[in-house]
Structure formats: C-alpha cells, structure tokens
Chains A and B, each alone.
Chain A
Amino acid sequence: MTGLYEEIREQPAGDVPVRRVTITVNGAKRTADVEPRLLLAHLLRQGFKLTGTHTGCDTTNCGACTVLFDGRPIKSCTMLAVQADGHEVTTVEGLAGTSELHPIQEGFKDEHGLQCGFCTPGMMLAAKALLDSNPDPSEDEVRWALSGNLCRCTGYQNIVKSVLWAAKKLQSQSTS
C-alpha cells in the first residue's frame, strides 16, 4: 500500500504548491517537501521512516500517534506536517539512544506495561510529558495524564505501574 507521502513524491499536487518544511526531529533537523494536506504522523512514518509513531484510530481518539511537539504531547494524526515547520518533535525513537533504554521504557519492560505494544509509544510520550512537569505523580495523576491514550490489552494497571516505576527511577538518578 502506498501512502500519501509516496503518492506526492510520484505525482506533484497540481496547482497546490508543495511546501518545504524543516522540523527538528529527535534533535536533528530534517527537511521535506510536503503537500499541505499531509499529516504529521504520515511524514514521520513514511517520510522519515520513524515507524515507532503508530496510527491507530486516525480519528483523534486513541493517542497511539502521540508525539511531543515543543515538549507537549499532541496527536500527530491531527496536525498537518506543514504546521510543524520550525518546531521540535520528539518521537519514541528519541526517548533514548539505540543501545540503551529510557527509564520509562525500562519501566514498561520491568512492570509488563505492554502486551501487543501498539499503544506503547504514545503512552510513553504522554508519560514523558507528565514526568517532565511532575516528577513525583500520584497514581491518580498518572491515570489522568494517560486518559487520552487508549490501550485495548492491559486494562491499564501495569501501564500505570510502569510510569510510577519510571518516576522512582528518574528521581533516584537525579539525586544520585
């Protein structure tokens, strides 16, 4: 199946001008020529091959496509790629380097915070935004922060435990 990104590459958009965007993705500047209707989620996945950002419902409900946009979590299926021009985007690939895990990723591993794993990237980025602003959240605060992200496997118990585990780990790192 070809996505819109490939279609645009092969067939320019007639009278609609293609726009050049430069986005800082996971710390590195990336440039692409995009048709205005291309969604950020599709640019990340098909243009930049960062397939850790998942598209689930495509209707702004599930949060699987959550990325950090200038540090705040947003649903990348509900933002145009052109809107990200000049901004910073962090995807799950940007959480940690290739040979290490971010404490949030460790938490999801240790506390069995995923089963099928489809929602996990979005969950982890929503959790990252929470822990950046609130390093010691209560269980309720974790549930509140993740309430825009759906999981159909776990029943959320272990996801919440994973985030609380990560909070402890991050705190111990910052004090040591």
Chain B
Amino acid sequence: MYPSRFRYESPRSINEAIALLQEGGGEAKVLAGGQSLVPLLKLRFAAPELLVDINGLPGLDHHTVDPDGTIRIGALCRHADLERWAVLPARQPTMAAAAPLVADPIVRNRGTLVGSLCHADPQGDWASVVTALGGHVVAQGANGRRSIPVTQFVTGPFQNTLGYDEIAVEAVIPAPKGQAAGGYLKLERRVGDFATAGVAVAVELSGAVVTRAGIALTGVGGSTIDAGDAAQSLAGGQLTGDSIDNAADLAARAAQPRTDHRGSAEYKRQIVRTFVVRILTGVKESTERAA
C-alpha cells in the first residue's frame, strides 16, 4: 500500500512549521509519531497535499514534573518514554497504568501521547486517561499559545478543535490536590488490537476522602466518554463498597457501546462496570493499608 503523493517538509523551528501549515491552508497534516497517520495515508483515508514532519523540532520530547506537581508531556514524547518513566507510578498512577497498554511495544517506540489526543480515535487510550485527569492540550499558532481542556479538544471521532495552522505542542496534567490514585484497565483480544473496552479512573485523596474524581471510557461510544456523573458521585466521600458499586453503575450507564465482533453491547457495558469496581477497590484497599 502506498500513500498518495504529498510534499514533505521537515522544519527546524516551530515558527517555520506553523508557517508551512499556513501555506498548506488546511491541506497540510502534522507528522509526529505517525503510528496512526502513516496507516491512514497508506489506506488513503487521509491524502494531505503537504506533510509537516515535526520530529526535527527542538524542545518537544520532554516529560517533566513541575515543582507544584503539574505533569507536562511534549509532542515528541513517545509512549515508551512514559512506560519507562520511573517516577510516573507514584506521581500519576492512572497514566502509569495506561502507558504499557497502548498499542504494542514496537509501536510505543514511535507513537506519542499528544498525537494520540490529536488523532481522537474513540479507541485511543490517552484521550480517556487525560479526560479522567482533567488535563488540557497546549496549541501553538502564529498568534502564540492557547490551552484547551481535553474535553473541548476532542470533539468527536477523529475530530479535534485545533486550527489548521496550529500544532499541539504539549499535554498538561494538573497537579493533584492530595494523593493521586487510580488506574487504567483495557480489554483487548490480543496485544495491539483496538480496545473492546477501556476504563480510566483517577481519584485524588485527602486521607480517605475523595477530593476529586475523574472517570472516562475507551471504545464504548462514538468518541471518548467522560463519565462525569460517575466521577461526581465519588467526590466528597470515602470509598465504600456501596459508593464504588454506585459509581460503576453510573459509568456503565454512561457507556454507549455497540454490538460488534468484539462483543455485545451488554457485555461491554458489563466490562466497564467491572473495571470501575476493580480499579476503585484497589484504591480503597491501598488506602486502608496505608491508614
């Protein structure tokens, strides 16, 4: 399979890259990891006239923690970099749980978290994780930078709110207020397959009290699903068997799965429910052990 013809540019500065996108006038695409875009080009689902390869741009491959606990992931930070990031499990367990589950180990060496957000595949893991964490995307254009909450960034299947001359340069995960806990679980038929269902749960704890919660769902709807009601039900209380069951029921209700070759809608809904219970029960037990 060959992509259709395109012009290729590999700019050396972000301003040069933005100028190229402006020149492309909506017919240009940004190439970062390429693990979704190159297959789309080969299948000719995408046929841009101009490809702007940002892999040569300096200062975009970072993954850092600010002194206040804010996590910043640059546009060229690969999934594998996050998988090997030693401080991540303690700092941000939901992200740490997801990193080794994205695609397969070879793809993780190229693909990027920010690219995954831009691609906005309803089956993408990172959009759910960043949604559950209340993160945002920093977009840079000719007029400077703006910050877009991920829930407003991903607007539908394969749709984001970037301007045609903007580049998503960074994903930002706000610092947790209190102790960050949570996880990510995904059911897939085999490594690298699209998710049958995935669940991201992020909670922030002050002692045993949940101060903030986020729950988002992968692969069970036309887009990433923010299970806000389920998350809200946990805020302000302690995790108990009943509160966990209630949140799991609300999350399962928020899912909009379709029956397909990966399973029936009812089965997928049940997986969502089970995953919420598993992650939150794990958090509850480790909180009790710590107390």
Contact = CB atoms under 8 A, between A and B. Distances in A.
A148 B110 contact: no
Interface string A8-29: 0000011011010000000000
Contact of B109 (A13, A58, A72, A80): A72
B8 A19 contact: yes
Interface string B1-28: 1111111101000000000000000000
Interface stretch (A59-67, A92-100, A102-110, A162-170): A59-67
Contacts of A146: 105
A114 interface: no
A41 to B, nearest CB: 11
Interface majority SS (helix, strand, loop, mixed), chain A: loop
Interface in A79-96: 79-80, 82-83, 85
B39 A59 contact: yes
A70 to B, nearest CB: 10
Contact of B106 (A17, A63, A82): A63
Contacts of B2: 4, 37-39
A72 B83 CA distance: 14
B165 to A, nearest CB: 21
A149 B5 contact: no
Given A78-B34, A78-B39, A148-B191, A36 B105 contact: no
A37 B192 CA distance: 25
B106 A149 contact: yes
B34 to A, nearest CB: 6
Contact of A74 (B4, B5, B106): B106
Given A79-B38, A147-B104, A36 B7 contact: yes
Contacts of B109: 69, 72-74
B226 to A, nearest CB: 28
Nearest to B53: A83
Interface residues of A, number: 35
Interface residues of B, number: 29
A13 B5 contact: yes
Contacts of A75: 106-107, 110
A32 interface: no
A148 B106 contact: yes
Nearest to B41: A37
A83 B105 contact: no
Nearest to A82: B8
B186 to A, nearest CB: 14
Interface string B187-213: 000011000000000000000000000
A145 interface: yes
Given A78-B39, A79-B38, A79-B110, A144 B10 contact: no
A155 to B, nearest CB: 14
A40 B21 CA distance: 25
Interface in B30-66: 31, 34-35, 38-39, 41-42, 51, 53, 55
A58 B44 CA distance: 13
A148 B34 contact: no
Given A36-B8, A63-B104, A78 B192 contact: no
B88 interface: no
A43 to B, nearest CB: 12
A117 B41 CA distance: 29
Interface string A131-151: 000000000000011111100
Contacts of B41: 37
16 contacts: A4-B2, A16-B5, A16-B6, A16-B7, A36-B51, A58-B1, A60-B35, A60-B38, A69-B109, A72-B80, A73-B106, A80-B31, A83-B55, A85-B10, A147-B192, A148-B107
List of 8 A-B pairs having minimum Cβ-Cβ separation, nearest first? A148-B104, A36-B8, A148-B106, A147-B191, A37-B3, A72-B109, A78-B38, A148-B105
Given A19-B8, A78-B34, 20 more contacts: A4-B2, A13-B5, A35-B5, A36-B5, A36-B51, A39-B2, A59-B39, A60-B35, A69-B109, A72-B109, A74-B109, A74-B110, A78-B35, A80-B34, A80-B38, A80-B53, A82-B53, A83-B10, A126-B105, A148-B103
